[in-house]
Structure 1
Amino acid sequence: MPAPHPSARPAGRTPLPPPDRPRRLRDALAFYGVLAVLCACYLGWGLVAIGLSFVLPPRIGGPLGRRAIGTGFRFLLGLMERTGLVEFDLSELEPLRRARGLVVAPNHLSMIDVMLIVSHLPDAVCIMKAGLERNPAMGGGRLAGYIPNDAGLPVIRRAADALREGANLLVFPEGTRSPDGRVGPFHPGFALIARRARAPIQPVFIESNTRYLSKGWPIWRRPDFPLRYRARLGEAVTVAGPAEAFTENLHRQYTATLGEARP
């Protein structure tokens, strides 16, 4: 499959409306309630998972940890939606539920992006910031076999091995969250991984009407509501030619599809 070319924003795709609900006590109580549940889930499962990671072999602990995280994210997203704080349009992610050995590469608006994708992506391995695997609250990532980004070639090798074994890889080409909603520069590491594993890359375009949990936004700082998120899939591609040129070409597709609009 040839390298992707920039494409225009799909016809009829309207921008997400901004948060437009007056601040009210019910929203504040729901927000901090959901936040308490989320923190309890992360810390509770993290402590259990970090213990299991010392007991279970990776061939058992890895798939178990990944299933648990996917289930937990589906529960948390459903809870957010039931409170009326968030509206999701994620129907176009449904084909990911059948994915195997796929590199899934979304743009990175906020920490919620991980939840949106992993809730739909089976057996998802993530590349995470080095050091987080030692955080008790992130013990679930250690059990799941998430890969710390602490070294170049070993990371590429481990990620490619996971893909060959049938797991899916979630990686954000920007490497970090956007501070302003725009698509940042792409790093070619994800393309090197895909080429080494001979795996297709699945672009995912995430849009939102809020900067909540973007770079620099603390989790406890309350945004305006309702938050709205929409995700859709691009055409899956394989890496052709030099990784740097492929990455630049793919970046142009993201910026052309998502435009310069900011929440």
Structure 2
Amino acid sequence: MDGINIVQVILILVVLVNGLFAIRFVLDVLQHKEELKEEPGNPVAMAIVSFFMFFLSTFGISDFAIGSSLYPKAKWVSDKKLPGTLNTECVIPVAVMALAYISSIEVGLLTLVTAIVCQVVGAYVSPRYVTKLPANQIKRFVAAGLFIAAGLILAGKFGIYPSGGELSSLEGGSLILFALLCMLFGALNNIGIGSYALTMATVYAMGLNPSIAFPIMMGACTFSVPIGSMQFIKLDSYSRKITLFTSTFGVLGVLVAAFVVKSLDVSALLWVVVVVVLYSAITMLKSSFNKEK
């Protein structure tokens, strides 16, 4: 199978898997129209936030970090439904990113398939456990995710982020370790700790060439997130309203970023994001311990 055919197969599978999620989500919205109307959130504010969140996400600013920081403050979603919402809201925008940016796949096919399958397994299994966690524990997991996101941003800013190597694939023990980590990242994604940045750091740290590693990171995310998100829909543990707005206005943000703006200097903005994310993480952590007392 040559490179072009692999790209075509991957993109077709992206459409099929994410299309299945879209059908499941639409059916759920139609079945719960009245509940959706009663969910909190100003429609205009949600539309603007959704657009800019995924506009910035296209340039590498984590939508998980923004959503985790913003939604609890705005009281748009309960603590229990926050992890599910962070996942369901990004499914369609991330699929559009994948379709817009995956133009070639030069990484080893076994490495790519391992990343995708293992993250899908982790994402499929974990939601049923996440929904049973107490709200305080969910807050602490989300806070941990925010600290990790801030740490990765700072690592990049100070030049201590793994730089990658020249490998195009992994073998033997390295591939087994990568498989286990991908399964863990798929599970962590469902408690609000975004898998994309963790996968990227792992890919670079294990010596893969950064220029060919993009399909691993984007492919693993765009297959595992919809699988986990369908479990959150089944368990009724997500915000339909937020997901509806991000699936429309968030997609518009991705399209504008990908085909109109194309490049953006987010260097200064990343400092603002770090401050907001750290403040939100500390506030969330304090709140979880205060409620426990």
Higher helix fraction: Structure 1 or Structure 2?
A: 2
Normalising by the smaller structure, the TM-score range is 0.3 to 0.5
Higher RCO structure (Cα 8 Å, ≥6 apart): 2
Normalising by structure 1, we get a TM-score of 0.34
**Higher strand residue share:** 1
Q: TM-score, normalised by structure 2?
A: 0.32
